[in-house]
Each structure stands twice: as structure tokens, then as C-alpha cells.
Structure 1
Amino acid sequence: MLSSPLHLAPMMDWSDRHWRAFVRLITPGAVLYTEMVTTGALLHGDAERHLRFDASEHPVVLQLGGSEPGDLARAARLGEAQGYNAINLNCGCPSDRVQRGRFGACLMKEPELVAGCVRAMRDAVSVPVTVKCRLGVDDHDSYGELVRFIDTVAGSGCATFIVHARKAWLQGLSPKENREIPPLDYDRVVRLKAERSDLEVIVNGGIARADQAAGLMDRGLDGVMIGRAAYQDPWCLTAMEGALLAAPTPADDRHAVLAAYLPYIESALQDGVPLKAITRHVLGLFNGLPGARRWRQILSEQAHRPGAGPELLLQAACAVGEPSAARAA
């Protein structure tokens, strides 16, 4: 079982270590996830670069993409050795590239293979191994097929499932369209939890408000996973923590979060990270406040310039107003 009912989704090109270090300052209680990392990238590429994370990120989960049990076991060992709190297997991504590698959402058509992958990883590591999936894929989207997938994989020892409450179309829709066009069906996830009460079931997909998240928890689910809503408006996570955690410790105000993030930025710049690779993750910090547009404009236009440093963020933040204004928002 995982340590919190609030989870921040693995998002390709978005949930890198710079984003995770930033958002941890806003939500001390959420479980963070890496972008999906393929077994090939870890076993044949620069594993240290893919696995690196800041100690402040705990609890943090490594999401793996793959379908070969032996490779997944070796990749999981690398993740555990690096200090990740759990390993998650991606059975939900519908992109063409992922399908060509025979992993992601297409694995829902092969529950026995997924069970073998989970078993191999569980044999290799002592941290929890979890699975993120969809309701189904293509025309294989009946409730019975979902239950067969869950039961087969649970039989290999997986106790935690994060279910994106949409099915995936493997052909004809882009990954973005697959996040928006197939209709959400929270009722099916709630039913799954009610009928498999021994499993931890976390729901994902379309969750953007604290009351919405709390309502899903009230229906018996064990947790909610927030994705792009948190990336685009990270301050929404303070309300999420207040709604879902018994003893939330929300950030004081947005300017305080920015000030706390500056030492991380300085360290990353010393390691050779371009400033623009960091500032792209904080553009939504002041969403909804007067001056937020100017904040985004300054960072977007100037972060790529040679010599740009942390002082640029302080300059841009002046457009938003005094900390007291942010505190009252």
C-alpha cells in the first residue's frame, strides 16, 4: 500500500525531477511519480540521468515501461537501489511509440504477461510494485475484461492499481485525444473497489477540484491521482491536501514557495541545467492572480538568454505583487 490518498500523475515531458522538486514545496503529502522510463533507457542508456531525484521528493515512485519480465526486474532493482519508494508498471499509455515497444495500454490485452512482469519485479525488489492501467482498450472494454485483468495481475501479488477511468483507443486517437475523448466512467472504478475491497484502488482522469476528489474518496476509493490540472495550476494542490489529508501542511503562499525553490534552481544551474528547463515548470504558479500573465511572459521570453539566473524569477514575481496579496488569494 502507498502512503497517501493524493498522487501526482506520471506525465511525459512534464513530471521530471525539476517539476517534482518544485511541486513538493506545495504539497508535502502527495506521492510523486516520475515520467515513464523504459527498461531500454535504463539498461542500455544513462541510468543515472533517468533515475536521479532530489531527496525532498520522497515519497516518489518510479514508473517503468516495458514488457519483458527479466528486463523489468533489472530496471526495478536499479530503481530500488536509487531509493525510489515504489515501482509502477505502465499499462495505460496509448502512444504509437509505446505500442511499437509492446508496452503501455496494449498490455491490457495480455493480462498473463503483465502478471509475469509484476511477479518478476516483486521477486527482485522489496518495495511495492504497482500497476497503472485504463478501463480497457479498443473493443476490449467490458467490465468483465477489466476484472479479469485486475484479478490476473493481483494474483501475481500486486495490491495497488491506479485506474485511469477511460478506455484507450490504440488506433485513431492521439495520446492527447485519449486523455479527453473517451468518456470518463468513475462508476466502474468505484464498483471495482467495492468488489475487490482487498485491493488498493486509486482513480485517475479528469480530476481538477478538491470537492471532486473528496467526493470520489467518499465513494470508497483509496486515493485520487491528479495530472495536468496540477501542472497547469499547481496551487490547486493546497486545496487538495486540505480536502484529502487529515493533517495537511500547506505552503504559506506562492511567493514563499518561489523563495524556497531558489536554492534548488541555483544548484541545478551549477550542474549545467539550462534555466529554461526549470522555469517551464513554474509558469502556472501564480495562475488566477493579477500579474500572472506578465510572470509567464517574462519567464518565457527571457529564461533562454545567456546568463539568466534565479534573479529572473524574482524579477518576474514582482509583477504579481507582494506576498500578502498571494496569501490572501
Structure 2
Amino acid sequence: MAKPIPGVRPSEVSELTRAQDRLTFVYLEHCVVNRDGNALTAQDSRGTMHVPAGMIGAVLFGPGTSVTHQAMSLLADAGSSAVWVGEHGVRYYCHGRPLSRTSRLLLAQAAAVSKRPERLTVARRMYEMRFPDDVFAGETMAQLRGHEGARVRQIYRDQAERFKVHWDRRSYNPQDFEASDPANKALTAATSCLYGVVHAVVVALGCSPGLGFIHTGHDRSFVYDIADLYKMEVAVPVAFEMASQFEGDELPGRVRRAMRDTMRDRKLLTRCVADIYRVLGLTDDDSDHEWDIVELWDDKDGVVPGGRSWSEQP
């Protein structure tokens, strides 16, 4: 008789919480992260906090964090992204296994990005979602970028005026967070949170973070594409509002908490999942999802069943 495997059994895919139904992110720093059953534990001098791993889109591990093997095993099993971030949360390092357990969206993404007409269609769709009154038939990508640049600069100016914050231009040094003015510091912190959550959704759905349609050449190009759908609506107002109220070392933490609350209130995870399907021209029909199905590619039939011997013809 086989000896039972010790520990908590891995979750079945059908038991996992969908990406759109999860909380956005939890930020942890200066603590030891372990596992207690199906919950993460974060322990410091003040005590121990339990975090339900299956309900979190991303866990941001800040400076001074030690994470056990069991904790990482739980995050991988739950399909939650583990994000190691540097001071002020401006770096993203890794993610876990996707929730989807299928390459359906990845194949659609790869097919669309590989053909110029389809790629242009997706890119135009993204611009239309952001600026529906400023995208016209027949415009080139250069013209669309020009419209975008003008609109974005105006939004920055409007938000600076609204919250009475000094603003010159978007300027920051990734290697020196403190060199920026308060508005740019807040924008960097806010967009880092947004990128982390969008990255968590992208990989949870099984898409490739690197196969972008507007952005290209970076391992997070698609993350930047999708995050841009919400940056002007979510990250920019939060950043300017926090920059108008706080400064110094308090500012990044205030921005993270405000982003967490705003993304929850605006149901960003639900919107992000729906929008990824939308930009790829697909529908989110859970009824046709099949999990953990491995098939083989065939040059004539498309796909054939896997898990069988093909040495004998049927």
C-alpha cells in the first residue's frame, strides 16, 4: 500500500478562487512569512497575521522579508503571484504558476501579436478603450501615439492643478527614488502597485507578460499595455492626491494603501480579466474551460489527444 504524502493536499483547479474575485495585493515587509494550513503567516515583533493565500492576487514582499519554502509552495499551489520588491516597491521579480492551467489565451495572444493586421487591430482596440472619442479610422500607430501623448500630458496637468501639486513633467531615475520630486515619487509608487496587480492577472490567465501589442521588447510589455488602460483613471489621481497630503518616507506607504483601496473600490481585478479577453477578441465563457488537458499538435488535424501511444494507428 502506498504511503500517503504528508502535508496539506494540493488544491484542485476547480477549488481555486478566480482571478477576478480575489483581493488585489498584500504588502509585507520586515517579517518572516511561513505557512499554516492554507494560509500564509506573517510574523514580526508585534505578533502573527494570517493571510488566506487563495484569496490574494499578489503578495508584495518588501525589504527585510524572509519567506519559507512552505510559504512559496502554498502561493504556487494557489496561483497567487509572489512579487519581491525593493525599497519603496519599485521592482518586480517573479510570479507563480497561472490559475488557468490552459494555454487557450496564450495561443490567442501569440497568434494576434504575430500577424501585423491582427496586432494593429488589438492595439487600436486598446487606444479606443482609453480614448473612445479620439481614435479615428485609418490612423497609423504614430498618429495614435501622438493623440495619446497629448491626452496624457493634459491629464497630468489637470491632476496637478486639481490637487495643487507642483508639476513639471514625468521624470524619475529607477536607481534613485529619492531624487524625484513628491509627485514623481508618488507616481512611481502608484504605477508599481498597478503593474504588480496587472502582472498577477496576466499570468493567472495564462497569458505571456512579454507579448505586447503597443509596448514591445520588454519582458513585461503586455503588462504595460493592460496597465495603461487604468493608469490615468486610477494611478495618476491617487498619486497626485497623496503627494498633496504627505511627503518624505511616509509618502510611498500612503500611496500603496490608497492604491489598494482604490483598486478594490473600482473592482480592478474583475475589470482587468474582462478587458484582457476583450482586447484579444475573446469571450470569458467558463463553461468551455478544460483544465490540465495535454494535447499534441498535428500539422493536418490541429490537435490530437495526448497521453497515449501513437506507435500503433487507431
* TM-score (normalised: structure 1): 0.28
Larger Rg: 2
* TM-score (normalised: structure 2): 0.29
